[in-house]
Amino acid sequence: DGKIIAVGENLEADQVIDAKGKVVMPAFIDCHVHFRDPGFTAKEDLTSGSRSALKGGYSTVTLMANTHPTVDNNETYDYIMAKAEEIGLIHIIQNYAVTKNLEGQELVDLENLPESVKFISDDGHGLHKNKETYELFEKLKELDLSIMIHEEDKDLSEIDYRYAEDVHTMRDVYFSGKTGARVHFCHVSTIDSAKAVEYGKAQGYPVTMEVTPHHIYMTDNDFKVHPPIRAEEDRQYLIESIIKGNVDCIATDHAPHQPEDKAAGAPGMIGLETAFQIVYKVLVEEYKQDLQLVSQMMSEGPAKILGLKKGRLQVGYDADLVIVDLDRQETISEESIQSKSKNSPFIGERFTGVIEQTIVDGQVKYGGNA
């Protein structure tokens, strides 16, 4: 029934997969993904996004609400969840918007959300007004809801994007501590923002944070993402925070765009299919960490944030697995990418570690005989 019922040697099974010489890990989980469905399906849809996730070793992803129409109503939410179940490739968790049409003005009906909603988020937009943000956090605590926040003070973005991220991160760590609201900080990219969340953790505030593969791999690069690629000192600090256990998970912020959109300045990159290879290169090859840390950041950590019984090879946990060949290398090419979009700055780069099979609920969904 899609669960791990035994771990050990000389076990009987209906099907045997020979993974000799390979590594078997819990499948990856992403807290931050855009699949563009409904409304922007030329960039990505639930099927192509799911296939992209499987190729990258992911069994579960959390989708942001910036579709068209926005996921600020139960009809759109139900459409996505029903379609994902019909496709049946991976597990989809859909975030609900905080405000109508992500405009930061009128709150959605927080007291009548679908029962399966785990987080709300206006990703791509910061929460601009201090008083309203504080009152929202109080409401979240009252309703036992959690929020994922893209930290950006738009007024400060015009001056310095670093200030824009840091000021709002510091504010919302403080508000979390004062209200008890559970806050997850998306794509933390600077030293000071990471330190702010670490401060909150040290005080016992219910705060968690993610970093992206591109922010721990790239530095001083003008490929447009929000938040932007930072300086080398930021990159090194984020990696050290991961090693020290202060970062809760790695999330891709998979953001598909068509070439004309990127040419016009649309921020974002696809990331599901290259995430493991980048994280492996940075943490294991560059910083000489154990593969266990990669698994913790890409599987166990996000499972804990989302409240899922996934992310561990343990009896009773969901049988979501990935088989990786760490002796193989591959060069990223447009032809190999499963996503509809090809907006990756890593095309042409060569990485170690090839995802051979992805297993969801005990069924091979990618590779092998899938």
Nearest Cα to 275, choosing from 12, 33, 85?
Answer: 33
Q: Which helix (H) or strand (E) segment is 346 a member of?
A: none
Where helices occur in 158-274 by DSSP H, the ranges are 161-179, 191-202, 213-217, 232-244, 259-263
Report the distance separating Cα 189 and Cα 216, nearest Å.
9
3-class secondary structure, 339: coil
Sheet holding 146-149, edge to edge: 119-120, 146-149, 182-185, 207-211, 249-250
**Annotated catalytic residue 253:** yes
Q: Let me know: does 274 contact 56? Beta carbons within 8 Å.
A: yes
Of 166, 172, 253, 318, catalytic = 253
Distance CA 311, CA 39 (A): 32
Pairing of strands 28-33, 58-63: parallel
Which residues belong to the active site?
A: 253
